[in-house]
Amino acid sequence: MNNHEASRVVYDVFTRIKRGDDLFHVGSVEAESEQLAKVYASFTYDEEKWVEMVVVNRDQIKWVRKPEGLFEKEGA
């Protein structure tokens, strides 16, 4: 199943515990498709009875500001 390695994408998982709560980042899953990402997220992050759960393809996140590497000068 090696030819799937290239097609695997990281999806960040966001959840909301109750209506009105903030949506927060709980982790991520790696999946070959959006459909599998949803199922993996649902089964992996099942510690709460979330009212809402969202998966976002990490490639689709647009950075406004990104922290600089702590050891950038050393080339790390």
CB of 5 to other proteins, least distance (A): 10
For other proteins, which residue of 12, 14, 15, 40 counts as binding (CB under 8 A)? 40
Beta pairing partners, 52: 16
- Our finding on whether 43 is near other proteins (CB under 8 A) is yes
For other proteins, which residue of 16, 17, 42, 54 counts as binding (CB under 8 A)? 42
The pair of three-digit structure tokens given for residue 13, joined into one six-digit string: 């998982």
For other proteins, which residue of 21, 24, 25, 33 counts as binding (CB under 8 A)? 33
Q: Can you list the alpha helix ranges (DSSP code H) found in 1-76? A: 34-44
Asked if 37 contacts 59 with a C-beta cutoff of 8 angstroms, the reply is no
Which one-letter DSSP state was computed for residue 73? Answer: G
Phi, psi of 28 (to 5 degrees): -150, 160
Binding residues for other proteins, rule: CB under 8 A, are: 1, 3-4, 29-33, 35-36, 38-40, 42-44, 46
